[in-house]
């Protein structure tokens, strides 16, 4: 039988293509062009890129962003992995409920989340308040939220659910009989974890970690809400290049391309591993 499957449908991709050309490609080319334009002299050159590796504050901001992304990714990756695995062992009703609750943090605005953490863990927050009240002192500082460590902590709020979603979608293809078989021949929980569970979920784990890293590296809302531009991060450096005081769009463009480069690297890793996740048979 001759197929009636259409050819003209290819045209339906035109709106998306035009839209992305105007809203994404042209601005992106503008950023590339802008990164080659030196703000001080109004000439073309690579000075903006030189600044990335020679200006102390910029180098530190890149290092800080890497550390923040790396640690928030590793911690959330570990917690999210165990959370997803724990969820997969629950009965179906509980599993569905927990998978649902897990998406809740992703619907809340990052600024609002930051203020929620401030109310509880900030310098004049509830935890500090109770500590000072019970110890009857005014100097207690339980935890400094406004630091890289504090940011790593706040980032867990949207990093853990993201990791959990990706790992949880892969656990459904895991055959519980394999774990049972391993147990019956005397393997303990740790052996099962390292010899069976982790190898099976490895593509999902790598996909999740890559996504988490991109997510942390390109974000600035939480940090901006907590400390405004008073922290040395790549994204906050980009923002401050557009303020009245430190106006230097050329440098901001070069920094942006660095962020895009890092993100693209991890996106490739993410896509490659995502394709290797075993999906349950329909």
Partner 1 sequence: MKTDLWKVFSKMLILLIVLFYLFPIFAIALASFTFQWNEYGLPIKLGFSGYKMFWEMGEFRRSLWTSLRIAPLSVAMTIIVVVPATYAVYISRSRLLKSIADVIITIPLCLPALVLAIGLLQSYGSKPFVLTGTIWVVILGHVVLSSPFMYRSVLANLQVIDTKTLVEAAKSLRAGSLKTLVSVVFPNIIPGIVSGSLLSFTTSFGEFQLARMVSGFMNQTFPVKIWEASRRYIRVQFAMSFIAILVSLIFFIIIIISLTRSQLKEEKIVA
Contact set for partner 1, span 153-192 (CB under 8 A): 156-157, 160-161, 165-166, 168-169, 188-189
Q: Per CB under 8 A, which region of 57-65, 66-74, 115-123, 142-150 contacts partner 1?
A: 115-123
Q: Please say which residue, 148 or 211, places its beta carbon nearer to partner 1.
A: 211
Helix ranges, the chain (H): 14-20, 26-35, 47-54, 56-88, 92-107, 110-121, 126-135, 148-171, 176-184, 189-192, 198-217, 221-227, 234-240, 249-276
C-alpha radius of gyration, the chain, whole number: 24
Taking the complex as a whole, the smallest distance from the CB of residue 128 to partner 1 amounts, in Å, to 7
Q: Per CB under 8 A, which region of 43-51, 52-60, 66-74, 221-229 contacts partner 1?
A: 221-229
Count of CB atoms within 10 A of residue 197's CB?
19
CA distance 59 to 55: 6
Residues numbered 225 to 244 that lie near partner 1 (CB under 8 A) are 225, 235, 238-239, 242
Tokens describing residue 168: 């949880």
Q: Does residue 271 belong to the site contacting partner 1 (CB under 8 A)?
A: yes
Residues numbered 36 to 65 that lie near partner 1 (CB under 8 A) are none
Among 115, 144, 178, 230, binds partner 1 (CB under 8 A): 115
CA distance 189 to 79: 17
Q: Per CB under 8 A, which region of 46-54, 64-72, 141-149, 245-253 contacts partner 1?
A: 245-253
Count of CB atoms within 10 A of residue 236's CB?
20
Size of the site for partner 1 (CB under 8 A): 96
Among 159, 203, 209, 270, binds partner 1 (CB under 8 A): 270
Among 46, 50, 111, 198, binds partner 1 (CB under 8 A): 111
CA distance 204 to 49: 35
CA distance 233 to 58: 8
Q: Does residue 27 belong to the site contacting partner 1 (CB under 8 A)?
A: yes
């Amino acid at each position: 039988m001759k197929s009636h499957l259409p050819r003209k449908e290819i045209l339906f991709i035109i709106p998306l293509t035009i839209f992305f050309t105007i809203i994404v490609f042209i601005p992106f080319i503008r950023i590339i062009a802008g990164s080659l334009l030196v703000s001080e002299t109004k000439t073309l050159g690579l000075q903006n890129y030189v600044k990335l590796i020679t200006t102390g504050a910029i180098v530190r901001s890149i290092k800080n962003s890497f550390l923040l992304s790396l640690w928030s990714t590793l911690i959330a990756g570990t917690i999210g992995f165990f959370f997803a695995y724990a969820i997969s062992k629950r009965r179906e009703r509980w599993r569905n409920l927990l998978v649902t609750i897990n998406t809740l943090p992703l619907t809340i605005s990052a600024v609002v989340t930051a203020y929620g953490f401030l109310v509880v863990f900030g310098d004049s927050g509830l935890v500090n308040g109770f500590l000072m009240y019970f110890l009857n002192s005014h100097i207690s500082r339980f935890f400094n939220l406004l630091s890289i460590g504090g940011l790593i902590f706040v980032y867990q709020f949207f990093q853990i659910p993201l990791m959990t979603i990706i790992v949880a979608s892969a656990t459904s293809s895991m055959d519980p009989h394999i774990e049972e078989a391993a147990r019956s021949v005397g393997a303990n929980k740790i052996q099962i974890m390292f010899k069976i569970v982790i190898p099976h979920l490895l593509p999902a784990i790598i996909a999740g970690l890559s996504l988490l890293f991109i997510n942390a590296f390109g974000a600035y809302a939480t940090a901006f809400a907590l400390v405004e531009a008073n922290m040395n991060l790549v994204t906050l450096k980009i923002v401050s290049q557009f303020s009245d005081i430190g106006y230097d769009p050329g440098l901001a463009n070069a920094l942006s391309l660095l962020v895009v480069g890092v993100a693209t690297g991890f996106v490739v890793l993410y896509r490659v591993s995502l394709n290797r996740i075993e999906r349950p048979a329909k």
